[in-house]
Chains A and B, each alone.
Chain A
Amino acid sequence: MSSTDSRAAIFAAIRANRPNIQPPLPEVPLFDEKAPSDLVPAFSEMLVKMGGAVLDPQGLDSLSALRSAVAGKGIIATCVPELHGDPSLQIRQILPDMDPRSLSDVEIGVVRAAFGVAETGSLCLTDDELIVNTAGYLPQHLIVLLDPAQIVANLHNAYRRPEFREHNYAVFQTGPSATADIEGVLIHGAQGVRSLRVLFCPKQN
């Protein structure tokens, strides 16, 4: 049987077998009436619960804090303009035509999130922010820049944003890679990044 024949057979079987009722598609509310007005503390709390961390600038401006977090740490892969043109750093600029595997020796990846979700502490990264999607997974550690103005209350609000309609790849990353597959013991850095830190930093335009 060819795939086309199978397609026809599957649709015929669905039409013959589906229950003969016509219930409507329910409306999904936003469930955000009780969301706090300042979403940054709620986001940060959930991020930490999910194994992530907030990069504390410790009195420095956010860019100086970022530079000192990556200085001397090995290969840094990034496409954020904030880190460009600093010869003191081992920066590898992520370019669209790079082989995805070429990022396997990277120590720290630095990317900007499209937005954050306070309910879960999640960061939305798209192929526009990552350029090469493996930039979110092959580096040993990840630092994510997040504009504090770009945080939504919950997942209902998140899915009304345009990213999921416009990008071929979009991901919610919530803390670092994790597993508890052996006796429930939680380990960070299963296959992806071992740590994930968020630096609050308004987007430069």
Chain B
Amino acid sequence: MSLEHQDAPTTPAGRTNDGAPASLTHGAGASVTMPPRGPEPQPRGAVVRGNRPIDQEEAAKRFMAAPEHLAMHDQRLWDLRQKRDRQKDTIEEWEELRQLASDIKTHTLTHLDTYLEQFEKNATANGVKVRWAKDAAEHNSIVAGILRSKNAKRLIKSKSMLTEECGFREAMAEAGVDVVETDLGERIQQLDNENPSHVVVPAVHKLRTDVAEVFSKTIGSDPNNSDVSYLTEQQREHTRPLILNADAGMTGCNFAVAETGSVVVCTNEGNADLSANTTGLHIVSVGIEKIIPNLNTLAVFVRMLSRSALGSPITQYTSHFRGPRRGAEMHIVIVDNGRTERLGMEKFWTSLKCIRCGACMNTCPVFRRSGGLSYGATYAGPIGLIIDPTFNRHKYSTLPFSSTMNGSCTNVCPVKINIHEQIASWRQVLAETHEIPAFKKTMMKAAGMLLASPKLYRASLPMADSALRYLPRFVIYNKMNTWTRGREMPHIPKETFHQWYKRTRGVNGKKK
């Protein structure tokens, strides 16, 4: 936005203060009073209405109607994707590492009981108290119980998608525990009462002016100062006393190593280490799928996580918590919350391999143009499309349709989850269980007939191509065709491959 628009316009000559025409009728007097324009307001996420299916399209449309947010978001995430590519290119064995990572996860998930038992045994031997939670509510009540037993009211924590999944902060508010997120992005989102929009960069959908507004209202920073160094420093200064006065600390877990009973946490800010090491109580939330067999396999994942996520060789801090500090307590809560059920889904169980790097989000054209909050679920982007319906098939029934099926997510996934194929499988499953809208069903039925018959498909192509060439723009770029929203159609070839082949090679395949 250019700066001249930011000055509040004065009432033009010939207008009264409320904008009504006065006696003057010449040019200047005829112009209306424009409302003052500040920075572009942040588009908010999907409207969640109970159990009703999320309208991702509606929220995406609002995101795309905010040009500055859209441009920053798209560029920032594409930049992360490009940095990831540059890192990948420096590692000769990258593809080998991806295969190893995928195979290690396959092995571990098919031997999950063995490794969980080993992890529990070793962690317990190290002096850690291990508990088990079947679902979100049990996780929250176990943590509340531990805090209550220590009379802990002030909890500092680092980012954890599992605690987001569990609605942890809301539950703690009810239990009278004051939770402070210590990751900058997560703190911004907490102060703005919004969910993280991305698993690695929670506030990536916000402009610095949005952050300045949030901070000015909550931690008393200067509302007109949106300098990033200033905002970051404001958060550091505001959070530090909260860290020093906390009663307990909490972290998530990136990897739980069965061989040693340790949990590994990766951050760039060092906030997990502060959360874990400053108070006398460290609580760790771990999803059952975070287990890996041993330290040799840990190396594979640590080499890939930050390279895939942010395009940096490693996070600034990779922390290994094997047992409590002298004089302190360490508790680990191991959580199922739908994971064992997912393990039994033939087409979808490999989604449990996910290490939450966010590479699929960064590369996804839909995610980059719609923002993570448009998905109205804990997990956004391609990985969200295949995980969210396992939590609630009806509410998230529309999400698997928010994909162009380009397969880029699958190509960048460090653990080789066939994300785009699972998206297609979900569409099928949802269609079979009548969870998809009637309009999409009709379209898919027609497409299905066409694609099932090679003859019909080939016959339809030249027609569709020439139609695309001659149809007026408004027919192709209309409301029904969501594909062309924010996107140009590809250049139409003059003839199809089969027409070219027939023309140049004839019927017997020999060159004419």
Q: Would A177 and B142 count as touching, CB distance under 8 A?
A: no
Instruction: Identify the stretch in A70-78, A79-87, A182-190 within 8 Å (CB) of chain B at 4 or more residues.
Output: A182-190
Instruction: Identify the stretch in B42-50, B313-321, B392-400 within 8 Å (CB) of chain A at 4 or more residues.
Output: B313-321
Contact residues in B for A101 (Cβ distance below 8 Å): 244, 278
Contact residues in B for A11 (Cβ distance below 8 Å): 113, 116-117
Contact residues in B for A28 (Cβ distance below 8 Å): 100, 104, 296-297, 299-300
Give a binary string over A122-146; 1 marks a CB under 8 Å from any B CB, 0 the rest. Answer: 1000010000011011100000000
Give a binary string over B108-122; 1 marks a CB under 8 Å from any A CB, 0 the rest. Answer: 111111001100000
Decide yes or no whether B270 CB sits under 8 A from chain A: yes
Contact residues in B for A121 (Cβ distance below 8 Å): 313
Q: Would A187 and B232 count as touching, CB distance under 8 A?
A: yes
Whole-angstrom distance between the alpha carbons of A172 and B51 in the complex? Answer: 44
Beyond A7-B132, A22-B110, A23-B106, is A133–B277 a contact (Cβ under 8 Å)?
Answer: yes
Give a binary string over B394-432; 1 marks a CB under 8 Å from any A CB, 0 the rest. Answer: 000000000000000000000000000000000000000
Beyond A17-B344, A190-B236, is A134–B322 a contact (Cβ under 8 Å)?
Answer: no
Decide yes or no whether A61 CB sits under 8 A from chain B: no
Decide yes or no whether A176 CB sits under 8 A from chain B: yes
Q: Would B110 and A19 count as touching, CB distance under 8 A?
A: yes
Decide yes or no whether A14 CB sits under 8 A from chain B: yes
Least Cβ–Cβ distance between A194 and chain B, in angstroms: 9
Beyond A159-B295, A177-B270, is A165–B133 a contact (Cβ under 8 Å)?
Answer: no
Contact residues in A for B324 (Cβ distance below 8 Å): 168
Q: Would B184 and A190 count as touching, CB distance under 8 A?
A: yes
Decide yes or no whether A59 CB sits under 8 A from chain B: no
Whole-angstrom distance between the alpha carbons of A160 and B185 in the complex? Answer: 34
78-129 of chain A: CB within 8 A of chain B:
96-97, 100-101, 104, 119-122, 127
List 19 A-B residue pairs with CB atoms under 8 Å apart, sorted by A's residue number.
A1-B138, A3-B131, A4-B132, A14-B113, A19-B109, A19-B110, A28-B100, A31-B93, A97-B327, A119-B313, A136-B273, A154-B299, A156-B303, A181-B204, A184-B76, A187-B229, A191-B182, A191-B184, A192-B273
Output the nearest chain B residue to A135 by Cβ-Cβ distance. Answer: B277
Output the nearest chain A residue to B80 by Cβ-Cβ distance. Answer: A184
Decide yes or no whether B59 CB sits under 8 A from chain A: no
Contact residues in A for B222 (Cβ distance below 8 Å): none
Contact residues in B for A158 (Cβ distance below 8 Å): 299
Beyond A158-B299, A173-B317, is A182–B273 a contact (Cβ under 8 Å)?
Answer: no
Beyond A23-B110, A50-B313, A50-B316, is A164–B322 a contact (Cβ under 8 Å)?
Answer: yes
Contact residues in B for A175 (Cβ distance below 8 Å): 316
Decide yes or no whether B325 CB sits under 8 A from chain A: yes
Contact residues in A for B262 (Cβ distance below 8 Å): 164
Contacts A10-B134, A182-B231 known; 19 new A-B pairs at CB < 8 A: A1-B138, A6-B336, A13-B340, A13-B344, A19-B343, A21-B110, A25-B104, A50-B312, A133-B277, A159-B298, A165-B295, A171-B317, A171-B319, A177-B268, A177-B269, A180-B310, A181-B201, A182-B188, A191-B243
Contact residues in B for A4 (Cβ distance below 8 Å): 132
Instruction: Identify the stretch in B5-13, B205-213, B439-447, B496-504 within 8 Å (CB) of chain A at 4 or more residues.
Output: B205-213
Beyond A28-B296, A155-B299, A171-B318, is A23–B107 a contact (Cβ under 8 Å)?
Answer: yes
Give how many A residues have a beta carbon under 8 Å from the other chain's beta carbons: 77
Decide yes or no whether B55 CB sits under 8 A from chain A: no
Complex partner residue of A159 from B127, B236, B296, B340, CB under 8 angstroms: B296
Interface residues on B, range: 35 or more
Q: Would B206 and A182 count as touching, CB distance under 8 A?
A: yes
Decide yes or no whether A170 CB sits under 8 A from chain B: yes
Least Cβ–Cβ distance between B218 and chain A, in angstroms: 15
Contact residues in B for A7 (Cβ distance below 8 Å): 132
Whole-angstrom distance between the alpha carbons of A17 and B320 in the complex? Answer: 31
Complex partner residue of A172 from B72, B106, B318, B326, CB under 8 angstroms: B318
Q: Would A10 and B132 count as touching, CB distance under 8 A?
A: yes
Output the nearest chain B residue to A46 by Cβ-Cβ distance. Answer: B313
Whole-angstrom distance between the alpha carbons of A184 and B312 in the complex? Answer: 13
Name the residue among B111, B233, B271, B278 with the largest chain A CB count within 10 angstroms.
Answer: B278
Decide yes or no whether B341 CB sits under 8 A from chain A: yes
Complex partner residue of A137 from B113, B236, B274, CB under 8 angstroms: B274
Contact residues in A for B110 (Cβ distance below 8 Å): 18-19, 21-23
Whole-angstrom distance between the alpha carbons of A193 and B323 in the complex? Answer: 24
Contact residues in A for B276 (Cβ distance below 8 Å): 133
Least Cβ–Cβ distance between B69 and chain A, in angstroms: 11
306-364 of chain B: CB within 8 A of chain A:
310, 312-327, 334, 336, 340-341, 343-344, 346, 349
Beyond A6-B134, A155-B302, is A169–B228 a contact (Cβ under 8 Å)?
Answer: no
Output the nearest chain B residue to A196 by Cβ-Cβ distance. Answer: B316
Whole-angstrom distance between the alpha carbons of A61 and B102 in the complex? Answer: 49
Q: Would A181 and B185 count as touching, CB distance under 8 A?
A: yes
Q: Would B113 and A183 count as touching, CB distance under 8 A?
A: no
Output the nearest chain A residue to B318 by Cβ-Cβ distance. Answer: A172
Beyond A3-B131, A10-B288, A181-B202, is A23–B313 a contact (Cβ under 8 Å)?
Answer: no
Whole-angstrom distance between the alpha carbons of A7 and B333 in the complex? Answer: 11
Decide yes or no whether A16 CB sits under 8 A from chain B: yes
Decide yes or no whether B85 CB sits under 8 A from chain A: no
Whole-angstrom distance between the alpha carbons of A187 and B346 in the complex? Answer: 44
Contact residues in A for B303 (Cβ distance below 8 Å): 119, 154-156
Decide yes or no whether B384 CB sits under 8 A from chain A: no
Q: Would B340 and A96 count as touching, CB distance under 8 A?
A: no
